[in-house]
Chains A and B, each alone.
Chain A
Amino acid sequence: MLNLIENESLKLLRRRRFLIVVAILFVIMTLVSYSQYRQLRQGRNENWRAELQERIARYENRLRRGRMNESWSRSMRAEMRRLQFYLDRGINPEAPTAPLVVRTFANAAGFLLLPLLISVLGADIVSAENAEGTDKLLLTRPVRRWKILLSKLLTLWMFASITLLTGGALSWLVTAPVLPAGGWDAPMFNGFAFGGDQFHIESVRELPLWKDALIAYGLEWYALIAVGSIALLLSVIFKSSAASIGTMLASLIGGTILTRISPDWTAGKYLFVSALPLADYYTGQLPPYEGMTMAFCITLLGVWAAVAIGVAFVIYTRKDVFG
């Protein structure tokens, strides 16, 4: 199996996609660190208290004006209370430090960027072989088909993990020279539990930033493993790289748009994309649909991944390979 994984990894690297992914992450993180640096230099974070108060006031105004749908106002009220909480404790939730950027990366990139990059990286791990005709050689070796597919799945998972870690590492490397590099033990407030309209202040936990980041990255990793599994299924179903990567990107972006524009269509909570921003929900952002607890999201992603893997293996081990 190690031989097979080595083969798959080499092929993935030789296609130079991973290089592109790292380059994209680097460019994005450079832009982020530059903008944060400017923010720091302009001293905008000197008057963060006023800003927070202003934001809360703005939300209040909009709520008072009404005329917005129920779930919008619900999330707005929750966000207001979250900001008020930070304000009361005298903590600036947005003071940029390098560790904070690293921590934020899990949320910001985990929601769409990393799933997209992983799709570009691996959503054609099977279909490319089909399109290039190399599957004929791959499948006429004394190796069972399920082993070949398993090696591809494990390689995909491995590169999903490496991409996440590279992103995290890059976000520190790029921001550390220009922002305060310390502050790994800064207090973070998480676990804002939303029960309907209620904000449970007692369920808020105070964690040092590094521990909090570890949890966020862990959740994001889990989500990316699920993305990789679904990408595998699409690459088995489709016969060309473009079709499988395209479908994967379309379902990620389309699903995300869908959950944003029609939060009243409650069946949408069973789409895997609704559960994808695990780190966001952990931080306290309200999921788009009612009843999406952390346990629900984790189970949902697990079920999607398991079904995708199961179907992929059944199709792959049974299909006739024509030209």
Chain B
Amino acid sequence: MTALAARNLTKVIGDRTIVDDVSFELQPGEVFGFLGPNGAGKTTTIRMLVGLIRPTAGSVEICGFDIRREFEKAMRCIGCIVENPDLYRFMTGRENLQHFSRMLGLDRSEIERVAELVNLDHRLDQRVGTYSLGMRQRLGIAQAMLGSPRVLILDEPSNGLDPAGIREIRELLRRLATERGLAVFVSSHLLGEVELMCDRVAIIHRGRILKDGPVKNLISNRRAMEFKVNDVTRALRVFEQSGARATPPASGDHAVLVAIEEDDAPPLVASLVREGIEVFHARPKIQTLEEMFIEVTGGETVD
């Protein structure tokens, strides 16, 4: 069953269309990346997914329940952090978790379970005001995991975390998806993060989804080998003779991009050497999401 489905979501405020006809689906066990620059409409979309904002048009279904018509049933299936992990700073971590588990009507043992999940059990009795951002992020995930939801929605989960913290969260989310079959929705403006964490990615820009597909496909379509040589002109002739499509480098550079698989590289290197061309290196080059992103958004900066 589809874990989460957004259909033709649109939000218009005044005469500005903030989110424009956005549709996507999440399957259980999948980590879905929602990628876009700041101000692209990511947070507005998330707020519509969790019922904080009423869409101008379109609908959201969570585990088969329409979020407007069956709000309570739909929200039982979901755990989320919208923007920052804002919890009650004047209460302890445990009191925060108790607060939310009371809203769900859960057992106390549930609190220990989620705290263990994010390795926070040792600091649970301190006030959240004394927590670091990383700890608050983990407490945020803990509260989102209360009541064993089927869908996890996290808005920029690595914001403000150090590299170790980012890695920790990445591994946790992957584990939740593969071991428990959770559908995880992660928004981000960091390409590297999405590339490492997600199975599928949608790219949103100015409120519209520009691309949607498995991360692997988006990348493998763009495989190439880079050859660094001393004589570019002669090398290009060699590539042409062997039938490989080569992209000449920018002037002054000696690296040529050739659209071939890694396995086809050794014969090409041999040909180059036979022609007396010096080969400094030959390495696989994968076009990163960043490059792809710049391509699809028309080169607008991503921070």
Q: How far is the CB of A126 from chain B (nearest CB, A)?
A: 14
- Flag if A139 contacts B51 (CB, 8 Å): yes
Whether the Cβ atoms of A4 and B103 lie closer than 8 Å is: yes
Chain B contacts with A in 89-117, Cβ cutoff 8 A: 89-91, 95, 99-100, 102-105
Q: Given A3-B102, A134-B86, A140-B82, decide whether A321 and B47 contact each other with a Cβ distance below 8 A.
A: yes
A208 at the interface (CB under 8 A from B): no
Determine which residue in B74, B87, B99, B104 has the highest number of CB atoms from chain A within 10 A of its CB, and name it.
Answer: B99
Cα A16 to Cα B82 with chains together (Å): 27
With A136-B83, A137-B143, A143-B103 given, is the CB distance from A11 to B75 under 8 Å?
Answer: no
**Alpha-carbon separation in the docked complex, A140 to B146 (Å):** 12
Annotate A1-43 by CB proximity to B: 1 below 8 A, 0 otherwise. Answer: 0011011001100111000000000000000000000000000
Among B39-75, those with CB < 8 Å from A are 43, 47, 50-54, 71-75
Complex Cα gap A26–B237 (Å)? 94
B100-A141 in contact (CB<8A): yes
Interface residues of A in 97-138 (CB under 8 A from B): 132-134, 136-138
Residue tally, chain B, CB below 8 Å to A: 32
User: Are B47 and A322 closer than 8 Å at their CB atoms?
Assistant: yes
A3: chain B residues at CB < 8 Å are: 102-103, 105
| Residue A323 interfacial (CB < 8 Å) | yes
Chain B residues in 8 Å Cβ range of A14: 88, 90-91, 95
Write the chain A residue with the least CB distance to B80: A140
What's the minimum C-beta distance from A18 to chain B, rounded to whole angstroms? Answer: 13
Once bound together, how far apart are the Cα atoms of A322 and B53, in whole Å? 7
Instruction: Check A139/B72 contact, CB under 8 A, given A14-B95, A133-B83, A134-B86.
Output: no
Contacts of B102 in A (CB 8 A): 3-4, 6-7
A142: which of B71, B84, B91, B99 is its contact (CB, 8 Å)?
A: B71
C-alpha gap A134/B89 in the complex (Å):
10
A64 in the interface (beta carbon within 8 A): no
Contact B90 A144 (CB under 8 A): no
Return the chain A residue nearest B147 by Cβ.
A142
| Whole-angstrom CA separation of A16 from B91 in the bound complex | 11
Q: Mark A239-282, 1 if CB is under 8 A from B, else 0.
A: 00000000000000000000000000000000000000000000
- CB pair A139–B86 under 8 Å, yes or no, is no
Measured between beta carbons, the chain B residues less than 8 angstroms from A318 are 54
Give the residues in chain A near B83, CB-CB below 8 Å.
Answer: 133, 136, 323
**Does A202 have its Cβ within 8 Å of any Cβ on chain B?**
no
19 chain-A/chain-B pairs, Cβ below 8 angstroms: A3-B102, A3-B105, A4-B102, A7-B102, A14-B91, A15-B90, A133-B83, A134-B87, A134-B88, A137-B87, A137-B143, A140-B51, A140-B78, A142-B71, A142-B72, A143-B75, A144-B71, A320-B53, A323-B83
Give residues in A with beta carbon < 8 Å to B. 3-4, 6-7, 10-11, 14-16, 132-134, 136-144, 318, 320-323
